[in-house]
Amino acid sequence: SFEGLTVKKQNGIHLTLPDAHDADSGSRRASSIAASRLEEAMSELTLTTSVLKQGPMQLWTTLEQIWLQAAELFMEQRQLKEAGFCIQEAAGLFPTSHSVLYMRGRLAEVKGSFEEAKQLYKEALTVNPDGVRIMHSLGLMLSQLGHKSLAQKVLRDAVERQSTFHEAWQGLGEVLQDQGQNEAAVDCFLTALELEASSPVLPFSIIAREL
């Protein structure tokens, strides 16, 4: 079943944030937890846009994070039009934010616009050179486009900067396997499995903190 948080803007547009439940186990999925957090955050942001513009930067940053989290929820549910709207709202606050550029890249990737996604990931990485999640997405996209050597370099940079990032180890293993470096690939896969098994479960976190 699906429940949702409805957001109404001054222009009359309504957005319903998906809140999914696992029908088999009855357990709440990560997107469900995220939606409840979004609802809590949005309930605190009762100021009008005109007041927000005069407020401290923290309010704008929080609002950007809320829009981007909403966009991620919509992308998980393949509601791409709604995701694009949320990203557009975030971009209206901080057009050159690495978080906005990254999410624009994610949306382009989901739509199959791989070259556009690659370029947006590169732009995001230029703004935030230490963003390991950006590196991870860029590395996988480069691999998808056939740039295996460059993909390997980017993913190696990611694991060097954050050695506990199991997704990057997994991606690096896949690239190495594609290049015929099977022994090195196996080492990466084993590292990824060990890290994933020992890492705490994070159902959802603020995008800007993870990038």
pLDDT at 61: 86
CB contact burial 97-120 (16+ within 10 A = b; e otherwise)? bbbbbbbbbbbbbeeeeeeebbbb
Rounded distance between C-alpha atoms, residue 70 and residue 184, angstroms: 38
Q: How confident is the model at residue 60 (pLDDT cuts 50, 70, 90)?
A: confident
Number of CB atoms found within 10 A of residue 181's CB:
15
pLDDT at 127: 96
Span 3-41, pLDDT tens digits: 444 444 444 445 555 544 444 444 445 555 556 656 655
Which among 112, 111, 116, 113 is positioned nearest to 101, based on CA atoms? Answer: 116
| Residue 1 predicted with pLDDT over 50 | no
Span 78-125, pLDDT tens digits: 999 999 999 999 998 898 999 999 999 999 999 999 999 999 999 999
Residue 18, strand partner residues: 4
The pTM of this model reads 0.72
Residue 6 corresponds to which tokens in the numbers above? 């409805």
% of the chain exceeding 90 in pLDDT? 57
pLDDT at 195: 92
| Residue 183 predicted with pLDDT over 80 | yes
pLDDT at 40: 58
